[in-house]
Amino acid sequence: MNEYSFIVWQNRPMAATAKNTRRTASREQRRQQLINAAMKCIARKGMSSTSIGDVAKEAGLSQGIINLHFNSKDNLLNETLRHLADEYKARFIKTLEKSGPDAADKLVALVELDLRPSIIDQQKIAVWFAFWGEVKSRPAYRKICDERDQYYDEVIEGLCETIIAEGNYQGISARSVGIALNSITNGMWLSCLVSPRTFDRDEAMTALTDLLHRYFPKHFS
């Protein structure tokens, strides 16, 4: 083997690795493109009216590409919901980590998160409610939603328990506070979806902080 041949041979694995990396990135980008297209279609037409053809047209791709990446409409929808849940959880964890050590500060930051434009987005909310409307008949959807809700509930209730202990609050259940916050937030999401012109994020946040003050007056003034 001469010097040139050795150099070529030596560089082959690196070239192959780079090529495989590009292929992997390309696959992930294509899958994300299809998921984004699916969300647009679901938000616009609803779950049952959205077809593989609609998603392909929205993405500017063939139906065969969708079958290549997801095999079926059911798999595409499952992955779309999984994407929404994972995206929300990632933002939730990031907010939790950045909000400091104080439990009250963390709770406010997480409450505020649910009203950020990146979360309370018309398209995303429409898709969330479309999936929630199907959980009774779709075990796969229920599983994904339950996993998200369980993590959310555990964190919120844990923070409330810490605040209750710090303030020596009596007759207050961390679980009941968590349920109240979750229920009111879901109602606000629905209000934003149904009446976007009249929905006001600042007013919504004020209502939630007022609720926290009623439960925990020593922590929220």
Residue 219 has pLDDT above 90, yes or no: yes
Long-range CB pairs of 176-179 (<8 Å, 24+ gap) are 177/215, 178/153
Q: Name every residue whose Cβ is closer than 8 Å to that of residue 45 and which is 6 or more positions away in sequence.
A: 54
Quote the CA–CA distance of 45 and 39 in Å, as a whole number.
Answer: 10
The region of weakest confidence among 19-33, 145-159, 197-211 is: 19-33
Q: Is the whole-model pTM more than 0.85?
A: no
Mean pLDDT of the chain: 89
Q: What is the pLDDT of residue 221?
A: 83
Query: What is the residue extent of each domain of the chain?
Result: 1-71, 73-221
**What's the chain's length in residues?**
221
Q: Which residue in this structure is represented by tokens 């070239």?
A: 15
- Mean pLDDT for 91-97 is 96
The region of weakest confidence among 59-63, 123-127, 128-132 is: 59-63
- Mean pLDDT for 31-46 is 95
User: Both tokens of residue 75?
Assistant: 């798999």
Quote the CA–CA distance of 161 and 173 in Å, as a whole number.
Answer: 8
Q: How far is CA 154 from the centre of its chain?
A: 17
Residue 1 has pLDDT above 70, yes or no: no
Tell me what percent of the chain is helix, strand and coil, each rounded to the nearest 5: 80, 0, 20
Local confidence band at 10 (pLDDT 50, 70, 90 cut-offs): very low
Quote the CA–CA distance of 123 and 141 in Å, as a whole number.
Answer: 18
Please give the CATH number for the structural domain made up of 73-221. Answer: 1.10.357.10
Contact 216/163 with Cβ under 8 angstroms? yes
Q: What is the pLDDT of residue 28?
A: 86
- Mean pLDDT for 12-37 is 68
The domain 1-71 having CATH identifier 3.40.50.2020: the answer here is no
- Mean pLDDT for 184-204 is 94
DSSP codes joined into one string, 50-82: --HHHHHHHHTS-HHHHHHHHSSHHHHHHHHHH
Q: What is the pLDDT of residue 6?
A: 36
User: Cα angle at 174 between 168 and 177, to 5 degrees?
Assistant: 110
- Mean pLDDT for 82-101 is 95
